[in-house]
Amino acid sequence: MEKELKVQMEGILENQGLARAIAAAYVSQFDPTLDELTEVKTAVSEAFSNAALHGYGGEHTEDVKKTVTMEFATVSAGTIMIKVMDKGCGIEDISKAMEPLFTTDTDQNRSGMGFTVMESFTDRLKVDSKPGQGTTVTMIKKLDTYYGF
């Protein structure tokens, strides 16, 4: 593990733009292609909005401190690992939550495609979560065009 970066911020939707700007800044040091940069930004944006919307979205969590921690590290040349962690309500059924088009939204304004987008824009995706104990999303992204200069 090299070039580690750890950022802690408030898990509210207003911070979504900041979260992906930080992700973009971290990835930029490896000279990614524009596509790779966009993919990492999108994946982090999804993970962060999940934490803010679902992790800390419930009515029972109002007095909880909404903290989202993001960890970035380089696992090998051109391969980065990103963790997005919250201490929110957690996920009861992870595989159900990861199904494409599964959503808890009843107004039909959200698509249920968050995890699907994360999965297709990263090389590996792992979700650790327990009800009441928060959620950790771990993503591995290979930058294919890494030349090692």
Partner 1 sequence: MEIIFDVIGNTLIVEFFGELDHHAAEKTRVKIDTAMDNYMTKNLVMDFSKVSFMDSSGIGMVLGRYRKMGENSCNMAIVGCSKTIRNILNMAGVFSIIDYYGTREEAIEGFDRKEVS
Task: Identify any residues that bridge with 8 across adjacent strands, giving them in sequence order.
Answer: 69
Using the rule CB under 8 A, is 105 a contact of partner 1? Answer: yes
List residues with catalytic annotation.
Answer: 46, 50, 110
User: In this complex, which beta carbon is closest to partner 1, that of residue 55 or of residue 114?
Assistant: 114
Which of 11, 30, 32, 49 is close enough to bind partner 1 by CB under 8 A?
A: 49
Length, in residues, of the chain: 149
Footprint on residues 14-33 left by partner 1 (CB under 8 A)? 14, 16-17, 20
Q: Which residues bind partner 1 (CB under 8 A)?
A: 13-14, 16-17, 20, 35, 38-39, 41-42, 45-46, 49, 52-53, 100-101, 105, 108-111, 113-114, 116-117, 120
